[in-house]
Amino acid sequence: MTRIATPLTELLGIDLPVVQAGMSWASSSSALPLAVSRAGGLGVVAAGPMRLPDLARTLDETAAGTDRPWAVNLPLYRAGADEVVELLLARRPPVLIASQGGPRRYLDRFHDVGTVCLHVVAGVEHARKAADAGVDGLVVVGAEAGGHPPPAMVATQVLVRAVVSAVPGVPVVASGGVADGAGLAAMLALGADGAQFGTRFLATEEATVHPGYKAAVVAAGVDSTRTVGRGLGTIRALDNDFTRRMTRLEEDGTELDVRRGAFASASLKDAALDGLVDTGKVEAGQSAGLVDAVLPAREVVDRIVAEYRRAVTRLPLPTEEPRPAPAGTAGTAGTAGA
C-alpha cells in the first residue's frame, strides 16, 4: 500500500494523512469509516446523532471489520454525552476526535485506556488551550468547511498556518475546502500533517445519506453554499429554500426569536435521511464545487493519492542557476545607433 508519512500517520498508525470527517448521518454507521480505514486513511464514526444501542453496535462492527485504526467523533455538547463517554471508554476506540467542548473533561480517562485524542478547534486561542491540556493532535476547521465553520470565519489557509505557528510540535489536521490531492498537498505545504475530507466523502457510495443529498452535492458549484444562523450557531449549507429564507430574515434584521423558530423548523436529518434537499439543512462545504461524481470511498482515497503525486511533482524547486537572458538580447549591449 502507498504511504505518505507525516507525524500524523506515525501518531495514528495509518498509511495516508487522509481523515474522513465524522459527519452526522453520513458516517453514523460502520460502512464509510470501514471503507476509508481499509484504504489507508482514518475512517471516523459520527457519534453525534446516535442512540447508545446503535452506537454500541456500530463500534463493534467497525472494530470487527478492520485491523486498521479508526476513530469516533464525539460532539461534547450532545445530549447524553457523559453516557456516550462511558460507552466509548468501555469499547476503547483507537482514536477519539472530540469537538464542541474542553478536552480536560475527557482527556486523562481516554489516555488511560490507550486512545489517541484529537481535538477540534476553530481558532488559535482554543488550539493553544487544547495543546496545553495535553491533546495528541488538533483538527483545525476553517471557514470553507461545511456544517459549523468558525465564528470568526477565518479561511483554512490562514487559520492552519497560524495554528501551526502557535503550537509547534503538535500534529495538525487541516479541515475546510479540501476535496482532492492538490488540497492535501497545499495543507501539508502550510505545515499541517494531514487533511480532513468531509464533503468529498458525502458523495460516496458508502455514505449513509439520501441519494438526493449526494446529487445536490455533486451538482453544486464552489459558490453554491451559504452561511446562515447568525447568533444561533452558524452553519454552512447548500443554497436552497431554507437558506434563502434565513438570509432574508437576517438581512431584514428580524428579531432573534423569530429567526430561531425558522432555523429550528428545518434539520440536517430532513435532508440527510428524508431527502428534503429543498427545505432541509443540506450541510456541505465550499469544496462541493470540486466534487463531480458519487464514487466508492476507496476510489476517492486512491484518487487523492494520485492527485497528490501529480501536485507535488509539478511544483518547481528552487535553483541557484543564473536566470537565462531573454531571447534576442544576447550580444546587443553597446549596439545602439550602430
338 residues of the chain, pLDDT tens digit each: 799 999 999 999 999 999 999 999 999 999 999 999 999 999 999 999 999 999 999 999 999 999 999 999 999 989 999 999 999 999 999 999 999 888 998 999 999 999 999 999 999 999 999 999 999 999 999 999 999 999 899 999 999 999 999 999 999 999 999 999 999 999 999 999 999 999 999 999 999 999 999 999 999 999 999 999 999 999 999 999 999 999 999 999 999 999 999 999 999 999 999 999 999 999 999 999 999 999 999 999 999 999 999 999 999 988 888 877 777 765 554 444 43
As a whole number of angstroms, the distance between CA 174 and CA 191 comes to: 9
Inter-residue contact 208 to 28 (CB < 8 Å):
yes
3-state secondary structure of 337: coil
What pLDDT is recorded for position 329?
A: 62
Q: Radius of gyration (Cα) for the chain, nearest Å?
A: 22
Q: Which pLDDT value is given to residue 39?
A: 98
Residues sharing a CB contact under 8 Å with residue 99, sequence separation 6 or more, in sequence order = 73, 74, 75, 76, 119, 120, 139
Q: How far is CA 210 from CA 114, 215, 269, in A?
A: 36, 9, 10
Residues sharing a CB contact under 8 Å with residue 322, sequence separation 6 or more, in sequence order: none
> What b/e readout covers 128-149, taking b as 16+ CB neighbours within 10 angstroms?
ebbbeeebbbbbbbbbbbbbbb
What's the burial of 120, exposed, middle or buried (CB within 10 Å: 0-12/13-18/19+)?
A: buried
- pLDDT of res. 101: 87
Q: How far apart, in Å, do the first and last CA atoms of the chain sit?
A: 67
pTM beyond 0.85: yes
Rounded Cα distance between 206 and 30, Å, is 9
CA atoms within 13 A on the CB side of 6: 23
Kindly give the interhelix angle for 256-264 and 241-251, rounded to the nearest 10 degrees.
Answer: 180
The cell for 145 is 468547511
Query: How much is the pLDDT for 330?
Result: 57
CA quadruple 327, 331, 336, 338: dihedral sign: negative
Rounded Cα distance between 333 and 338, Å, is 11
Within 8 A by CB and 6+ apart from 150, the residues are 122, 123, 141, 142, 143, 159
pLDDT value, residue 327: 76
Chain-centre distance for alpha carbon 208: 17
Given strand 18-20, what is the order of strands in its sheet? 18-20, 194-197, 172-175, 137-141, 116-121, 95-99, 70-75, 43-46
